[in-house]
Structure 1
């Protein structure tokens, strides 16, 4: 089989049930990428390297980014994250995935003192978003679905902030030419947030949040969420496929 006939594979790390690639996965598949989902929480073994993969997608989940007791596979994820950055392999970290990137590369993650950020939250562009191959098209004030108790406290050295929010400053960043991390959930719509609310809603309420309002806000923003983050996922797929300005042309 020639190189042109090989379907590029993305290694997708899912940390728990109910947190799959969702909308992002749909767009990557539609772009011609194959997703290899690994479920370490269910006993799947993570590969030792990214050999044979065109990119790495690290999804969200409940564990803290450094809680190896709750998620004993985290050291292996950090190895893959560092390999991706060192080799300029395309990388996208979502929520916990973005936090793992930050912690693994010299930044920090902490529990939010103000309680969880949940629901559809407007984001603001930062100057470096202009011209970014993945987040350059995100409009000012675009809504993002949020559901997190922890947050990135400090970005890694050399990281470029791209998007911010009023209640959580580090919403999207780039490190190196082809690695991006986000604090929010571009992969989910209202049904996923409603499912998470069934299990996490009481804890959100005890922390002073309103889980029902969070679900309603995401449902109300679904059309814009789908439009903005589908486009962003397609842009990342373009980087993987070598179609965009962030691409690395392999020999």
Structure 2
């Protein structure tokens, strides 16, 4: 079973509006090949994708709506010269935490969240690239997390299979952050700081996205990634749906407060 064969229940198409007048959720995209992917259908409607890589400006804190998602990308969390929008992105993440806006940072997004709130990131970390399908182990607190709770509930023996593709990594959590998940290669796979959740893994990546990344990395065996995703297709599909829907519910609860 592949991820694509189960990723869109009922044949639903991704419900992503690139420019709603008043967004419910704002998504920041840093790289053309690191899109919202499978998270789109799970998040629901009124989602605005801001293409930072195409020159669209980082919105102000009051313009993001009731939720913020910051995706991955090829630059490091400190690479302001390559991606001049990163300082504004870090400032927005700090503002979102301060204001209590539900926030999800994925891979680079999680690293930016950490740096923006007092943590640190190791660029080209010594353990090397973590790629393919990895086992994420959950710590105390993850089961009661508003977004990770449904994921943990379905985990077999406290472990969730997830797509990974990164060489940089959070090496020190921000003060006050709760450490929620780890893998054997990198400790900080998930953490929460107030209203914000950072995940190092890629719940949004279906096979087409993940294999594209793998083929671009000379140190990654794309055939192995393909086989692993086929073997874990149902688990990967459940991860994105459970996580995405739980985050959407958190956003809607915040909007209705």
Q: Say if 2:225 is the partner of 1:181.
A: no
1:224 and 2:235 aligned:
yes
Contact 2:23–2:48 under 8 Å retained in 1: no
Paired residue secondary structure (1:119):
strand
Report if the CA contact (8 A) 1:81-1:101 is conserved. Answer: yes
Classify 1:118/1:45 alpha carbon distance in 2 versus 1 (closer, same or farther; 3 Å).
same
What residue number does 1:190 align with? 207
Contact 1:143 1:221 in 2 (8 A): yes
Are 2:176 and 1:158 aligned? Answer: yes
1:62 has 2:74 as partner: yes
Residue 115 (structure 2) aligns with: 103
Residues 64-143 of structure 1 aligned to structure 2 (within 5 Å): 64-110=76-122, 111-137=124-150, 138=152, 139=155, 140-143=158-161
Shift of 1:190: 1.5
| 1:47 paired to 2:47 | no
Question: What value does the CA root-mean-square deviation take over the aligned residues?
Answer: 1.7
Question: Offset at 1:22?
Answer: 1.1
CA contact (8 A) 2:214 2:221 kept: no
- The unaligned stretches of length 5 or more in structure 1 are 1-5
Deviation of 1:132 (Å): 1.1
Q: Name the CA distance, whole Å, in 2 between partners of 1:197 and 1:130.
A: 31
Partner deviation per Cα, 1:108-133 (whole Å, 9 max, x = no partner): 10122121000111111101112111
**What is the match of residue 226 of structure 2?**
215
CA contact (8 A) 2:102 2:251 kept: yes
Q: Cα 1:75–1:214, aligned 2, differ >3 Å: closer, same or farther?
A: same
Are 2:28 and 2:69, in contact at CA under 8 Å, matched by a contact in 1? yes
Contact 2:22 2:65 in 1 (8 A): no
- SS of 1:85's partner is helix
* Aligned match for 2:27, one of 6, 12, 20: 12
How far off its partner does 1:214 sit? Answer: 2.4
Contact kept, 8 Å, 1:94 with 1:183, in 2: the verdict is yes
For 1:152 and 1:215, the matched residues in 2 are separated by 27
Q: CA deviation at 1:46?
A: 1.7
Give unmatched runs, 5+ long, in structure 2.
1-20
Cα distance in structure 2, aligned partners of 1:85 and 1:52: 13
Contact 1:50 1:84 in 2 (8 A): no
**Cα deviations across residues 116-158 of structure 1 (Å, max 9, x unaligned)?**
0001111111011121111112212110100001011011000
Q: Do the aligned partners of 2:29 and 2:71 also contact (CA within 8 Å) in 1?
A: yes
3-state SS of paired residue (1:123): strand
